[in-house]
């Protein structure tokens, strides 16, 4: 269930401006108390949204990390990473 913890972190970035600031300045400390697997923690701190995507984390929620500069992400870096995920375009 800890993908749920990643979702909670993303929501906290939106809702709690103090937490948002800590996710920008010291994300490792900010997420220290969250119930994450080592793989999730590592991916999150590396801003590895591709790995998180494959773990089942919701892309829309991860957008808040990009929008609010968390874990070293920005909208351009997020864009480049998430677009590298293979997908079929449009109609199936």
Partner 1 sequence: MAKIVAAYGLPHTPFFPSRVVQEGPQSPTGLLFAKACNSLVAAKPDVILIFDTDHYNTFFFDNFPILAIGIDEKFSGPIDEPRGGMPVYSVPSMPKLAEYLHNHTVRAGYDVASLREFGCDHSVMVPLYFVNPGMRVPVIPFFISGHVPPLPSARRCFAFGWEIRKALEAYPENLRIVIIGTGSFSLEVFGPRIDPGKTDGVPDPEWVHELCRYLEAGDTDSLISAATETRMHAAGNVGGELLNWIAMLAFTDNRKPDFLIKQMENGHAYAGWRWS
Q: How far is the CB of 6 from partner 1 (least distance, A)?
A: 10
Closest to partner 1 by CB, 20 vs 22, is 20
9-18, long-range: CB < 8 A, 24+ apart: 9/34, 9/44, 10/58, 10/61, 10/62, 10/64, 10/65, 11/61, 11/64, 13/64, 13/65, 13/68, 13/70, 14/64, 14/68
Rule CB under 8 A: say whether 19 interacts with partner 1: no
Number of residues that bind partner 1 (CB under 8 A): 28
Residues that bind partner 1 (CB under 8 A): 4, 7, 11, 14, 53, 58-63, 66-67, 75-76, 78-79, 82-92
């Amino acid at each position: 269930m800890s993908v749920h913890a990643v979702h909670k972190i993303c929501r906290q970035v939106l809702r709690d401006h103090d937490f948002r600031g800590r996710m920008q300045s010291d994300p490792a400390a900010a997420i220290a108390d969250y119930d994450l697997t080592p793989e999730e923690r590592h991916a999150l701190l590396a801003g590895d949204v591709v790995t998180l995507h494959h773990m089942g984390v919701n892309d829309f929620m991860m957008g808040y990390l990009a929008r609010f500069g968390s874990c070293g992400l920005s909208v351009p870096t997020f864009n480049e990473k998430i677009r590298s995920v293979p997908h079929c375009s449009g109609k199936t």
